[in-house]
Amino acid sequence: MMSKQAVHSPTLLKDIETTKDIKIPKDVLDQVIGQPKAVKKVRLAIAQRRHLLLVGPPGVGKSMLAQGLALHMAKPLEQVNVIHNPGNINKPFVEVVKSHSSVHLVEPSDVPTYVAEQLGFKCPV
């Protein structure tokens, strides 16, 4: 369900004495200024649980829109791991982990060299 955007009454500069007088919406998407079409597309992607590609020059709000998208999406229930297949490098193994308790993070230095190279953590010699 898409939430309504907050409606703000215009604030005149003469009515502002300190920054405390400026109302900042709690929702990150309501904080985006000047991109109503982009915010609408993000809200649509959230409602449809879809992907979204954000393209544009620096400073137009891509990171803020992405943050709003991430905050509104449901947390993932599974993790998909793509694992190197030494038998056929063109067909990697795919593993779906449903319980995050069995997943542990490793440092790039702890993985085999060929994996670190393929992930871009180490340059091939």
Residue 67 neighbours by CB distance under 10 Å:
15
Give the model's pLDDT for residue 78.
83
Token readout for 75 is: 């947390």
pTM: 0.54
Q: What are the extents of the domains in the chain?
A: 13-72, 79-118
Q: What is the pLDDT of residues 65-111, one digit of tens each?
A: 999 999 998 887 888 888 888 899 898 888 888 865 666 777 777 87
Q: What is the pLDDT of residues 24-52, one digit of tens each?
A: 899 999 999 889 999 999 999 999 988 89
Q: Is it the case that residue 7 has pLDDT exceeding 70?
A: no
Give the model's pLDDT for residue 2.
47
Q: Are 47 and 2 in contact (CB under 8 A)?
A: yes
C-alpha separations of 48 from 76, 78, 101 in Å: 15, 19, 28
Q: Which helix (H) or strand (E) holds 47?
A: helix 36-48
SS3 93: strand
C-alpha separations of 102 from 17, 25, 107 in Å: 54, 38, 17
